[in-house]
Structure 1
Amino acid sequence: MAQRIEVPVHPATLRWAVQRAQVGPEGLARAVGVTPERALAWLEGRARPTYRQARQIARRLDVSLGQLLLPPPERVTLPVADFRRGRLAMDEPSPALLTILYDALRKQDWWHEVHRGRHLDFVGSFNWRQARPTDVAEAIRKVIPVQQEQRQARDWGDFLSRLAAAAEKAGILVLRRGILGYNTHRPLDPEDFAGFALADLTAPLIFINTRDYVARRNFTFAHELVHIWLGQSGVDDNLELETPTDVEKFCDRAAAELLVPEEDFRHVWASASGDPHKVAEHCSRVFCVSLWVVARRALELGLIARDEYRDLMERYQTALRRRRSENRGGNPFRNIEVYNSPTFTSEVIDATLRGELGYGQAASLLGLKISTFVAYLERRI
């Protein structure tokens, strides 16, 4: 009988990885196909998994097999500023966030190599300590026709697609996805991260988590645009939570002015009829933003009283709790462009056709298997 090979995983590292991935002993047991008692024995160091089980564990916890053999790291931190409002100070970044963020940084590095020497003047063109939110909003409008796209948009989702296309035309890479890789069973939690901005003179990049409520994504996108204009990279989660960070408050105000200009908002609010909730819903549809953005704007401009604002927020939170996940299917080849930025994807395809990129490297940059990349390439030619 062949001897069973057991892997000496470090129990403390296994516990760290389980906690970080928010899996739990039961989830770990299901992923490997063993009893919870067996998984608990691994976590306590009373038993060791086989080589096959150790590989399954590493895959489920988003760590390397070699890392499971070593003591746990002291602390994992993000390579950019962490502006998330719902996290605790001791929380470590989730494996999903780290995977998505480092994939974006890798794309940015490759874009640097391709477009070496190109500089976009609008990146970092404002210092938030010296500028006014209205000035930043107006500067963004000169590059991205926000109000024009707003008027032509069919709905909230179409507005975001239009904003993303306009940003790409201006030189900003926009990545939009709601799953890890191409695995529909690994959704991204918007309460973990809703979006981030990587400010760079050559390769500015914005990521939007499309698992978030559709009406909230547009404010997140506008908020990340402000980060680009300020030249500040960072990760955000639910922007509807209060923030103690001054630069985040500035970005919120600038994003609100960008999407809901005061003069336009006052006109639309005054021309609508009905109670504050009906008026707010009307404004939400007109400006393609969430009810939260409208309510905050109305309160700031003195159009509603504090008790009316609280009532709007109670109704909004109730509606959020009742909402269901939308259908996130669609054309898988179209998703490749959305997930990786249409501009970036086209550049990778062109570089491959010119012989500057091998199929393996090109597939890796797009997060694809080589066979899938070849099939996608054939459709593009």
Structure 2
Amino acid sequence: MARAPIDGNTLQWARELGRVTREDLARAVGTKPERVDEFESGASQPTFRQLTLIANKLDRPLGFFFAPAPENPDVPETADFRGRAHDELPANLAREMRRAEQHRDAMLDLEGDRRERLVLRPLTWNNLREQAADLRRQFGLLDNFVPTESQPNQVFNFWRGLIEARGILVFQTTKIALGTFRGLSIHHDGLPVILINGADSASGRTFTLFHELAHLANRTSGLCVLKESVNEEALANGFAANFLMPEATVRRNLPRIDNPLELSNHLASIFKVSPLAAAVRLRTLDVIDDEDLAEVRKHSDAEWEKVRERRKNSEGFAPPWRLRYRDLGSSYIGAVAQALEDHRVDMMDATYLLNARVPMVEQLLSEYYRTGGAE
């Protein structure tokens, strides 16, 4: 049987960088972990079928394993703000982070770094309100502005569009547990990246969007679950809350309600955010205390879990191309569509850029043109 003369060091590099254990790779290939050791040491070579399974598991092209290992990692480094000691980065999240960087590189090749940039100044506890107000001014929004869109997904897409139009790429992920992360930021001087967990509610994703923007303002790359006990996370939460719910507007809309859950739900309906986001804002204004916030957080997590279970058990489901469109976003898909129109790339290039086979690429492009780039 023909064997593939791969570079074992390259295989080990890709496996370790992708946070895939020997045991997991062996299961994917249908062999024993000791056999993976042999492939990596050069004592043995995989068959071409085994190499195909390896490449699929590690999310690499076949040809990658025949060349020497790259000198630099291609999974971006991020500070872990989740407040967990020795918590390993899961393989599926490492893959999504690497893909986000690849999409950024592709965007630079397709469009360059020519979009209008937000001016993001370093944040401190003393300037959160001022910096949030300044960001609203850059967007041309008054303090009392709230998106007119009625559905939470539409509200998220409105804010996503504003941010992407000013030089920050926003992607989403599919099938990663919400407990693993809610969002992460990848800082670059030009075209930084925000990655949002699609498992969250749309309102939750909106808050995370501006939470990650705070990390970028402080020129950090961060992996987040928005945990208040971590100082950097609390600071980013405070910025997001200040931006989405300016203090003067919040205080004008405070009703005489003592129950923190009812109060949070009331403000959430006004500002089109999640009850948890509203509770965070109320906490920063000392309207509620830490125990109240913890109660709202617990209730919010429980309610969202019920929603996810109902969706999981329902007959309907989103087709894969729809999820890919949501995750990549109309800004990135539009850049690929324009490059195809200009004959700067062909359909085979598009399959790589969109990480999809030709039929799905055609569906993505059709949806882009059908909606005029709206999501």
Contact 1:115 1:202 in 2 (8 A): no
Match in the other structure for 1:82: 79
The alpha-carbon deviation at position 349 of structure 1 amounts to: 1.2
Distance 1:264 1:20, change over 3 A: same
Is the aligned partner of 1:128 residue 2:128? no
Match in the other structure for 2:193: 205
The alpha-carbon deviation at position 213 of structure 1 amounts to: 3.7
Match in the other structure for 2:373: none
What TM-score does the superposition give when structure 1 sets the normalisation length? 0.73
Contact 1:173 1:205 in 2 (8 A): yes
Contact 1:277 1:312 in 2 (8 A): yes
Match in the other structure for 1:258: 243
The alpha-carbon deviation at position 41 of structure 1 amounts to: 6.0
Residue type at the aligned position of 2:264: A
What TM-score does the superposition give when structure 2 sets the normalisation length? 0.74
Residue type at the aligned position of 2:159: L
Identity of aligned residues (%): 19
Question: Which whole-Å CA distance do the structure 2 matches of 1:76 and 1:219 have between them?
Answer: 30
Question: Which whole-Å CA distance do the structure 2 matches of 1:102 and 1:139 have between them?
Answer: 32
Question: Which whole-Å CA distance do the structure 2 matches of 1:348 and 1:83 have between them?
Answer: 32
The alpha-carbon deviation at position 102 of structure 1 amounts to: 2.6
Contact 2:261 2:296 in 1 (8 A): yes
Residue type at the aligned position of 2:271: F
Match in the other structure for 2:57: 60
Contact 1:284 1:291 in 2 (8 A): yes
The alpha-carbon deviation at position 254 of structure 1 amounts to: 1.1
Question: Which whole-Å CA distance do the structure 1 matches of 2:118 and 2:37 have between them?
Answer: 54
* CA RMSD, Structure 1 to Structure 2 (Å): 4.3
Question: Which whole-Å CA distance do the structure 2 matches of 1:41 and 1:330 have between them?
Answer: 40
The residue matched to 2:165 in structure 1 has which SS? helix
Contact 1:147 1:259 in 2 (8 A): no
Count of residues paired in the alignment = 358
Distance 1:279 1:23, change over 3 A: farther
TM alignment of 1:1-381, pairs within 5 A: 20-21=19-20, 29=27, 31-32=28-29, 39=32, 42=35, 51=47, 52-53=49-50, 55-62=52-59, 78-89=75-86, 91=88, 93-116=89-112, 118=114, 120-123=116-119, 125-128=120-123, 132-144=127-139, 145=141, 150-176=146-172, 178-179=173-174, 187-200=175-188, 202-228=190-216, 230=217, 232-245=219-232, 248-268=233-253, 270-271=254-255, 273=257, 275-325=259-309, 326=311, 329-330=317-318, 335-374=323-362, 376-377=364-365, 380=369
The alpha-carbon deviation at position 346 of structure 1 amounts to: 1.5
Question: Which whole-Å CA distance do the structure 2 matches of 1:274 and 1:356 have between them?
Answer: 60
Deviations along 1:71-110, whole A, 9 cap, x unmatched?
A: x99x97953432431443463x333233322322233233
The alpha-carbon deviation at position 257 of structure 1 amounts to: 0.5
Contact 1:218 1:288 in 2 (8 A): no
Contact 2:18 2:58 in 1 (8 A): no
Distance 1:232 1:120, change over 3 A: farther
The residue matched to 1:224 in structure 2 has which SS? helix
Contact 1:272 1:282 in 2 (8 A): no
Distance 1:210 1:149, change over 3 A: farther
The alpha-carbon deviation at position 280 of structure 1 amounts to: 1.9
Unaligned runs of 5+ in 1: 180-186
Contact 1:191 1:237 in 2 (8 A): no
Distance 1:118 1:336, change over 3 A: same
Contact 1:17 1:63 in 2 (8 A): no
